Each structure stands twice: as structure tokens, then as C-alpha cells.
Chain A
Amino acid sequence: MFSADTLEKFAREVAKYPADQKQSAVMACLAHAQEALGWLPPEAIEGVANYLGMPPIAAYEVASFYNMYDLKPVGKYKITVCTNLPCALSGGYHAGEYLQQKLGVGYGETTADGKFTLKEGECMGACGDAPVFIVNNRSMCSHMHPEQIDKLLEECK
């Protein structure tokens, strides 16, 4: 199920916790699994659960609770837009609308070519830099005005 590289990452996460608390690594291992596979199919959740010696449903509870896990396939680039109030006051809504216009999809949808998935997100803790996006759960993009959005989409090959 998982590559040697991913398994090595799992082991590094497990080592952070007391020996009898392997389950603590579930969030990190699910994140690594998602990074490797693009999303979290049930087999990956079960694989992580088995690796950590916890019931698969307990791992599923975690995967379905935290909203950065993708339990369905997403596009090559998942762009999450913060529209919470502080961001909205500084253009969060507008940036989201602009993105929707450019990509021709709404929140929760993926472009027909499978390249972009658009998500509406909650506070990312960067309200001073609004509007903010996160691409693929990893890189945060600040001050996303039209020119910056155009540039971002350009860079997403």
C-alpha cells in the first residue's frame, strides 16, 4: 500500500510519541498517506490504522473530522479559499468569486480536466494577509488580488 519512503515517514512520526501511544501519529500518517496518494481512499485509512494498531473506524473518525483530509479524489491542485469574516472584509468573498469565474467551477467542485478543485475554507490564521488561499494543504498564498490569482493559476501547470 505505502512506499518505503512513506513508511519511513510513518516511523518518524511514531517515534515522537511514547511507545504505547502509537495512535498519536494517526493525523501525521494520514497526512503523509494523502500526500503520497493525492487523497485518502479507504484502503489508505485502513493501512494507516493497521500500521498503528488501531481500529479502522477510529482512523476514519479522524480522517472525516479534520477538514484538510480529502476522502474523495481532488484535482491536481486543491485551492482552499478563506472566506471567513476577517478575510471577507478584505476581499475573501471577491477572491473566491474571481476564482470561480476563472475556473468555471463552484466550491467543492473540480474542473473537468481534473486540474483544479476549489474549496471554501475556514480561518487559516493569516487574516492580516487577506485574501489568502492554501494550495494542496501546503503552501499559503497571501494578498490574493486578481493579478496574484492570475499568476498562481499560471504557475499551476
Chain B
Amino acid sequence: MAMLGAITPVLMAGLDGDNSWSLKDYVARGGYEQLKRILINKMTQEDVIGEVKKSVLRGRGGAGFPTGLKWSFMPRSFPGDKYVVCNTDEGEPGTFKDRDIMRYNPHAVIEGMAIAAFAMGANRGYNYVHGEIWELYKRFEAALDEARAAGFIGQNILGSGFNFELFAHHGYGAYICGEETALLESIEGKKGQPRFKPPFPASFGLYGKPTTINNTETFASIPFILKMGGEEFLNLGKPNNGGTKLFSVSGHVNRPGNYEIPLGTPFATLLEMCGGMRGGRKLKAVIPGGSSAPVMPADVIMDCTMDYDSISKGGSMLGSGAVIVMDETVCMVKALERLSFFYHEESCGQCTPCREGTAWMYKVVHRIENGQGRPEDIDLLNSVLGNIAGRTICALGDAAAFPVQSFLKHFGSEFEYHIEHKTCLVPKDVQWAGSGFHKIPA
């Protein structure tokens, strides 16, 4: 079962069959029709990009950059190789939507990439797949074989003269490779260390060639946008926030999972779709866009709709659409400790503020959690995060700083309590009670 629930499903519509990932099923659902239409009717590159622009499809990986605009940055007349790269290195805590796309609808990604390649004049592509979802990497390779055999990728596709070779490249355990230039370094067979920008990938990307990198969900949306038309897709959502989007809901809800809803749907509706809070407990906080997004207190998120603009207005970001729901049993110090450990662990180690600063922040939060906090620690954390944010090569520095900053801002009293009382505000026996983990036999 692909989806736990949806309102006007697009991407995940009709995925109820036993083999929804097969070429046969995809074609039966109307798959590859858009690629055919483009190539046989000889649509122009401008037409395709124009349609994507109309849809106001914003990048689904986290940054939310308009896809059509990004595509138009690719140099048209570049004489050598150009690349399209799909970012399926889904490792942002809370995010698990691309996994389901890869699991149930891999051909939509392939078709979307082929259309993108056509629109940008690229002839080679790679899909970088998170190493941890190995089974789906293999499934994607099988899908590539099917698509190749059917002539949807490869040389002279559908007799059009258009060539597009597409391959899968797997990661092997490094969150940072979700950063697009780290991902390119990784494809080049190096450590995943982000590059300084400029130059941007559109001019100096994979192997130094013009490259466009999009998220899996972004590519998978392309065939549907072309099918229904950009405007109709836009109208599914709200202005400047086109279309439907997958939301990965995790944490203290009754039915964690992926939900496809139009952008602009109230958070309350989404929470309802997830069956409400686990055990009927009270909502405490939500991280609305993956762990790098600032945390929002319950009252603020309850007033938001799920789209880029509303969440941004509420003081956070929609990011990848990963909604981490926390109830009243969560100790916010311990929660931040785990996130801070994550950013420290996943720092590539390249640039000073991130390498040193993430470790420092973790150590201080760890100390507070373990009853060794000092009154000056909160100021210290705010100062250290201020010296990281905006000073690093890539956004991981910011991503590590935002949680600390927002947890301190909204839940500072819990940290103060920890420091003063050397113990948690949330009683030990209640902590993490919402986990739903069946009791460990004594």
C-alpha cells in the first residue's frame, strides 16, 4: 500500500496494484505517454520548460527553488556533455517520501528525468540513491533495464534522434551527499564534500560540465505536469505553491507515513489524516520540514497551512515536507541532543565552523542533558551557533544551527530547568511514553 491517505493524489494515484513499479503497470497508468508526445510531436525545449514554469513546481528536496527557472539556467549552446542528476539521497531525518516513489513509481522518475534531459539538451544522467535503501536501488536498476529495453532511454529514443543514457549510483552512508555539490563529488568517486559556489552546477557540475540536479519527487512530478498542463497543476495548490506534495509524517501520530495533499492544506487536516496524536496525547511541537527546519510550537503550527509561504511565515520552512510530530512526553533537551549529534556526526569535516562548531554544540547540549549544564551554556550555544550559521561552505552549518536556535527560542525554559535542577522537566517515567514501542519484557 503506497499511501496512507491523500487528497487529489497525482504522483501516487493508482498505485494499488501488486506490481505498481513495473513498466507494464506504469504504461497502463499512462506512463511514458508524455515522453512520447514530446518526442513524436516534436515539442520544443522551450515548450517543455514553459509548461514546468507555469506549474510553479518548487524543488521538492528542501530548498523549494522553482524548477522551471532552474532548468532555464542550463547553457543552451554548450558544445560538450551536459548532465541531469536526480537526488534520491534521502537522509534528512523525518523524510521518507522519495523511498516510496522509488518503491512504487520508479518509472515516473525515469520519465521525468528523460523529459528534463530533453528540455535541457542533456544526454546523460545519474540517479544518486541513498545507500540505506539498497533494495530500491536494485529495483531502480531493474526499472532502468526495462526502460532501456523498451526504448524509453538509450540511443535514438523512439526514433527521435534524442539520446539519453541514465544510470543509478548508490550512496553508502553520508547525509551530506544530499547536498547537491557533495552529491556530484560523490558521483565523481570522492568524499562527499560540498563545493564552494559559485560556480554553480549549471555551469560547472558533474565532471565540470553543466548539470542540473533535482529531487526525486520533482522529477517524478514532471510527467504529470505535462499530462495535466502546468496551470492545472498549479491550481491544485495555491499561488506560488503549485501542485500537490508528499508529506512524510513521523513521530507521535497514530499512522505515520506518506500523505499526498495539495499545498495549502491546513496542518490540522494533515494531522487528522494521520489519525491524530498517538494515545490521544497533547501536541507539543512539530518540525515541519525535516530536522534542519526550525521547530514550531504546537499553537503556531496549528494555525499554519502546509505550503512554503505559510510555514515560512510561521518561522520555519517546508523543506522536504517531513513533518516530525512530538507530543508532551518529549524532553526537548534530549531531542535536541540527538539532532545535534546527527549534525556533528554528518559534518563532512571540510570547513572549520561546521567541523568544530557542530561538535562543540553537541558536547554542550549533551552536558546539559546529562546534568552538567551551566547557566552560561545557553548564551554560549547561541553564540556558537551564530558563529556557524552563514559562515560555512554549504548549508549543513545552517541546518545544524537552526534546530539549536529554535529549540532554545521556543523551549528555553526546559533547558534552564535542566541546568538548574540537573534533571528533566518531563518526569522520567513519562518520557518517550508516546513512542508506541511495545513494553520490553522485564
Contact = CB atoms under 8 A, between A and B. Distances in A.
Interface of A: 16-18, 21-28, 30-31, 52, 54, 58, 61-62, 65-69, 83-95, 97-98, 101, 121-131, 134, 137-140, 145-147
B136 to A, nearest CB: 9
B98 interface: yes
A24 B291 CA distance: 30
Given A123-B93, A140-B132, A91 B437 contact: yes
A146 B440 contact: yes
B133 interface: yes
B188 interface: yes
Given A27-B172, A66-B173, A124 B189 contact: no
12 contacts: A21-B207, A65-B192, A65-B348, A66-B174, A88-B432, A88-B435, A98-B440, A121-B173, A122-B93, A122-B175, A127-B324, A139-B134
Contacts of B98: 125
Contact of A126 (B133, B291, B335, B432): B133
Contacts of A25: 189
The 7 A-B pairs at the shortest CB distance, nearest first, are namely A91-B437, A23-B189, A68-B173, A127-B250, A67-B173, A66-B172, A86-B250
B377 interface: no
Given A84-B93, A137-B134, 9 more contacts: A16-B126, A18-B124, A21-B189, A27-B172, A28-B169, A88-B435, A123-B291, A125-B90, A131-B437
A107 B316 CA distance: 34
B353 to A, nearest CB: 19
Contacts of B338: 83-85, 88
B189 A125 contact: no
A107 B163 CA distance: 48
A101 B440 contact: yes
Interface in B174-214: 174-175, 186-192, 207
A83 B342 CA distance: 10
A66 B131 CA distance: 10
Contacts of B134: 137-140
B438 interface: yes
Nearest to A28: B170
Contacts of A27: 169-172, 186, 189
A26 B187 CA distance: 9
Contacts of B175: 122-123
B339 interface: yes
A69 B192 CA distance: 14
A125 B436 contact: no
Contacts of A30: 172
Interface string B69-110: 000000000000100000000111111101100000000000
Contacts, number: 192
B147 to A, nearest CB: 15
B174 A65 contact: yes
B195 to A, nearest CB: 15
A123 B438 contact: no
A89 B191 contact: no
Contacts of A23: 188-190
B188 A91 contact: no
B438 A147 contact: yes
B135 interface: yes
Most buried by B among A17, A85, A91, A130: A85
Nearest to B259: A128
A150 to B, nearest CB: 10
A56 B437 CA distance: 45
Given A31-B172, A85-B339, A88-B338, A125 B191 contact: no
B95 A127 contact: yes
Contact of B189 (A62, A92, A121, A128): A62
B60 interface: no
Interface in B270-301: 291
Most buried by A among B95, B126, B131: B131
A85 B324 contact: yes
Contact of B81 (A18, A86, A101, A137): A18
Contacts of A24: 169, 187-189
B93 A128 contact: no
Contacts of B170: 27-28, 31
B257 interface: yes
A61 B96 CA distance: 28
Contacts of A88: 335, 338, 432, 435
A94 B437 contact: yes
Interface in B325-365: 325-326, 330, 335, 338-339, 342, 345-346, 348
Most buried by A among B92, B99, B435: B435
Contact of A94 (B81, B172, B192, B432): B432
